[in-house]
């Protein structure tokens, strides 16, 4: 997995959360706060897609070559089920 | 792929759409109509998860065994990107 | 509510479902089928946003003017809760 | 707005992000990391729904009483459009 890329995405998201907490404390306009939360969620989505991509190219591939990929596939589908509305 | 299961899910969704069109024509309460649309989307999600599940256990597995799974993985990640908010 | 626009969106979605059922019967490539289901979901989202928009400009506004908007607001938030991942 | 509740939700999310960064550094199993990111997104969703709920019961109600609610409604629909797949 490309740790550096993912860690940077998550550190950026963390920093933005600090900013949003400040916006709430400063009683900033609700819609602006809501938009900022959406921006953090977009970062988390990006990171999670990166993780799933790497997982499929790593662990899943290996498991399939060793003849037992179904369990890993079920794990991925279970995450998709939670993720997709 | 379990065609029968998926085709039934989609036929149910189609029938529910007919019902929603009638609700709009009958000027039913907006929130009730909105909830019905959500129910159809849940059916479509279920069908799509089934399709992705079968795809990974079929085409993806085969491609990985033949040594060229990355392209198929990119396809799946591209769909997830469109699907996930 | 702009019935015509919504009914057209839903009729288009319905027609696309017919097409997807045919694709499954013809054993078309899973990823192509999955993309088509995503397209139908985009139509349903568009229709549902239209309905919520009209609902807020109609029923919600009226309820707020009559001094009892909170119940209607709870209904909208309940739909958002179901809709948002 | 119930600042305290929202700030607590966001501080919890921030703390969980620290934990996820550590999981990546420790090369923990990808699926477990992915699940943790989903948990943070659920917290952010909860916070954002709270913000939208309060916004509708506060700013939107006031604007509607003053006869210019449409602009505020458009803002909310724009956020829903970004939020909903």
CATH code for position D49: 1.20.58.1000
Of all residues in chain D, the one with the smallest CA distance to C46 is: D81
Q: Residue B30 and residue C54: Cβ atoms within 8 Å?
A: yes
Distance CA C84, CA A37 (A): 13
CB atoms within 10 A of CB D34: 22
B81–chain D Cβ distance below 8 A for any pair: no
Q: Residue C37 and residue B47: Cβ atoms within 8 Å?
A: yes
How many distinct structural domains can be found in chain D? 1
Give the structural domain span for D33: 3-83
Q: Residue C34 and residue B52: Cβ atoms within 8 Å?
A: yes
**C-beta separation of D33 from D24 below 8 A:** yes
A8–chain D Cβ distance below 8 A for any pair: no
* Nearest by Cα to C31 from A74, B30, B77: B77
Has residue C29 got a pLDDT over 70?
A: yes
Distance CA C33, CA C28 (A): 7
Q: Residue C17 and residue B10: Cβ atoms within 8 Å?
A: yes
Share of chain C above pLDDT 90, in %: 86
pLDDT at position C85 is: 59
Distance CA D26, CA B37 (A): 43
State the smallest CA–CA distance between residue C83 and chain D in angstroms.
6
* Nearest by Cα to B80 from A72, D85, A59: D85
pLDDT at position D68 is: 86
Has residue C1 got a pLDDT over 70?
A: no
Look up tokens 């933005």; give the residue. Answer: A16
Interface test with A, best of D16, D24, D30 (most A CBs within 10 A): D30
State the smallest CA–CA distance between residue A82 and chain C in angstroms.
8
For residues B42-50, give the mean pLDDT.
95
State the smallest CA–CA distance between residue B82 and chain A in angstroms.
10
State the smallest CA–CA distance between residue C5 and chain B in angstroms.
11
Q: Which pairs count as long-range contacts for B60-68, CB under 8 Å and 24+ apart, including other chains?
A: B60/A64, B60/A73, B61/A64, B61/A69, B64/A60, B64/A61, B64/A64, B64/A65, B64/A69, B65/A64, B65/A65
Has residue A78 got a pLDDT over 70?
A: yes
For residues B17-41, give the mean pLDDT.
96
* pLDDT band at B3; cut points 50, 70, 90: confident
Query: For chain D, what is the mean pLDDT?
Result: 93
Distance CA C31, CA C21 (A): 14
Has residue D79 got a pLDDT over 80?
A: yes
B10–chain A Cβ distance below 8 A for any pair: no
Q: Which residues of D touch A59 (CB under 8 A)?
A: 29-30
């Amino acid at each position: 997995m490309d740790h550096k890329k993912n860690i940077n995405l998550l550190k950026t998201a963390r920093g933005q959360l600090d900013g949003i907490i400040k916006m709430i404390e400063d009683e900033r306009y609700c819609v602006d706060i809501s938009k900022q939360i959406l921006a953090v969620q977009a970062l988390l989505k990006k990171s999670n897609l990166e993780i799933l991509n790497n997982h499929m190219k790593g662990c899943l591939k290996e498991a399939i070559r060793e003849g037992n990929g179904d369990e890993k596939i079920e794990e991925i589908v279970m995450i998709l089920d939670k993720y997709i509305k």
